[in-house]
Amino acid sequence: MTGPETIQIYDTTLRDGTQREGISLSCDDKLRIASKLDRLGVAFIEGGWPGSNPKDAEFFDRARDMDWEYAQIAAFGSTRRAGNAPEEDPNLKALLDAGTPVCTVVGKSSKLHVTEVLRTTQEQNLLMIEESVAFLMSRDRRVIYDAEHFFDGYKDDPIYAVETLKAAVAGGAEIVVLCDTNGGSMPWEVGEIVGEVVEELAFPVGIHTHNDSECGVANSLAAVQAGVVHVQGTINGYGERCGNANLCAIIPDLELKMGLRCLPQGKLKDLAEVSRFVSDVANLPQDEHMAYVGTSAFAHKGGIHVAAMRRHADSYQHIDPAEVGNQMRVVVSELSGRGNLLSKAEELGLQLDESVDMPKVLDRLKELEAQGFSFEAAEASVAMLLKRQSADYKAPFELIDYAVVVENRSGRGTFAEATVKVRVEGEVIHTAAEGNGPVNALDAALRKALTPIYPAVNSFQLVDYKVRIVDGQKGTGATTRVLIDSRNGSQEWSTVGASANIIEASWQALVDSIDYGLTLAN
């Protein structure tokens, strides 16, 4: 993609992103993410620092044998060290050995870092920048120059900071990137400084920001408005300390708000999937409230909001969620109105007859929430509240009683045994089962009772079980909320229960889970 309306997206998730605490990617992980980013259509993928560790070196070895449709793979490294000739410098050798078409070289723009960190002179630093870039250019590499600590350096001495950029331009860099390395600049500062640099250099300029003052995205957009043509960042804003500028916000901001192209046509709708994929591979929960791509980005809870949206979808949404691959959701809670329930029924594909008394369901829902239930993450329990109000609803089973015993026996340890007595199609069934805990035993006994009549129950899997104390000030007498996640093949659903007795709360969630699962199976 070329043209004045195009912004290059440079992804550094695989290097800067992995500096976040709690992230450690294998080489296979990095290659999977890189392939996903390439299909998204970013212009550059920074694979790592080949001279820093064997994993990054392996990544570049394997990446050379892969086909890349949209992205150029970049290796990252620093300028030569003071006193080294470029051809003898280990960092520059490692960059060449990576075999990438693009090399990104970082150098110092701040006098503080030149004298106190590099322990060299300002003149020598300029030579290090120019000679390093020129050396890589002479070896047929495209060179991107990252001006580290540029904004701090510019505030201290703007003349010298710009001289470092001119050194990179003299060496042959194709673009110079201004870095807010400490993440402390404000958008108005970034916009003003970038504008001055763009005017003075008359050369392509990029931006690389961090989020230490929660301005990473805003600073990137301010820089674009001031004339940069290249934006660096990470998926989900991963990065050291508070993270890097979040490409999952920057990309749709550029395309949908500023009218600038940064991905190939039609690729923006893949953004939410890429965000989830990267968080899954990184083994981190996705931030549900992230702009554009979070699961709550287009979730609506307030009854007035939902009522308005049922009349016009744009009344409480700034974009169509489908543009970024997301979807609108209605959350049901004590703040809900009739429109929330109607929208949730439509979302779940429920066919409700006219006998359903919506105000009665709403009153019951609010009553349960006052008792400790929470239906926001338990949509299957909402579905059952609605279905049970239908005139033609018939419960698949009826509880008569249950009992659970937990024992600790010498030589065997702790185990649980549950007995369940239910009525199914007029027949009373009495079963017992053991488990490693009371809920496991209760679940096993209920399944044993139901499976002969409802074989589908045997395929229902309990995949997660969460317990939360609702009113902790009551100690062991507090209300306990239980959330159960279930699965049947590709179908997943969540149910909730709440009681001062954890077994009763678990039973409530189990009954909803099986009841809802049977409605899906029929």
For the chain, 522 residues long, give each residue's pLDDT as a single digit of tens. 344 489 999 999 999 999 999 999 999 999 999 999 999 999 999 999 997 788 899 999 999 999 999 999 999 999 998 889 999 999 999 999 999 999 999 999 888 778 777 677 889 989 999 999 999 999 999 999 999 999 999 999 999 999 999 999 999 999 999 999 999 999 999 999 999 999 999 999 999 999 999 999 999 999 999 999 999 999 999 999 999 999 999 999 999 999 999 999 999 999 999 998 998 888 887 888 999 998 877 776 655 555 555 555 666 678 888 899 987 766 554 445 555 555 555 665 656 566 666 667 667 667 776 767 766 667 788 788 777 777 777 888 888 999 999 888 777 788 889 999 999 888 999 999 998 888 889 999 999 999 999 999 888 988 888 888 876 566 666 788 888 888 888 788 888 888 888 899 898 899 888 988 888 766
Considering the domain architecture, whether residues 58 and 23 belong to the same structural domain is answered as: yes
Considering the domain architecture, whether residues 172 and 67 belong to the same structural domain is answered as: yes
> Strand pairing partners for 175?
144
Range of the domain at 511: 456-522
455 Cβ partners below 8 Å, 6+ apart? none
* 155 found inside a domain: yes
* 391 found inside a domain: no
* 18 found inside a domain: yes
- Whether the pTM exceeds 0.75: the reply is no
Considering the domain architecture, whether residues 254 and 317 belong to the same structural domain is answered as: no
With contact defined as beta carbons under 8 Å apart, do 230 and 176 qualify?
no
Asked which of 328, 347, 369 is the last residue of a domain, the reply is: 369
Considering the domain architecture, whether residues 130 and 76 belong to the same structural domain is answered as: yes
Tell me the residue type at 417: E
* 399 found inside a domain: no
Considering the domain architecture, whether residues 258 and 303 belong to the same structural domain is answered as: no
Residue 165 gets the label, from left (phi > 0), alpha (psi -120 to 50) or beta, of alpha
Considering the domain architecture, whether residues 225 and 310 belong to the same structural domain is answered as: no
With contact defined as beta carbons under 8 Å apart, do 132 and 92 qualify?
yes
Asked which of 236, 251, 281 is the last residue of a domain, the reply is: 281
| Three-class SS state of 447 | helix
| Three-class SS state of 61 | helix
- The CATH number assigned to the domain holding 508 equals 3.30.160.340
**How would you classify the pairing of strands 480-488 and 461-469?**
antiparallel
**How would you classify the pairing of strands 8-11 and 398-409?**
unpaired
* 312 found inside a domain: yes
Considering the domain architecture, whether residues 99 and 221 belong to the same structural domain is answered as: yes
Number of domains the chain contains: 3
- The confidence score (pLDDT) of residue 335 equals 47
C-alpha to C-alpha distance for 454 and 230, rounded to whole angstroms: 59
- The confidence score (pLDDT) of residue 3 equals 41
Considering the domain architecture, whether residues 59 and 185 belong to the same structural domain is answered as: yes
Considering the domain architecture, whether residues 111 and 139 belong to the same structural domain is answered as: yes
Considering the domain architecture, whether residues 353 and 250 belong to the same structural domain is answered as: no
Asked which of 338, 369, 400 is the last residue of a domain, the reply is: 369
- The CATH number assigned to the domain holding 52 equals 3.20.20.70
Considering the domain architecture, whether residues 12 and 127 belong to the same structural domain is answered as: yes
* 390 found inside a domain: no
- Strand (E) or helix (H) holding 28: helix 27-40
Mutual angle of helices 54-63 and 90-98, in 10-degree steps: 30
* 179 found inside a domain: yes
Considering the domain architecture, whether residues 270 and 168 belong to the same structural domain is answered as: yes
* 88 found inside a domain: yes
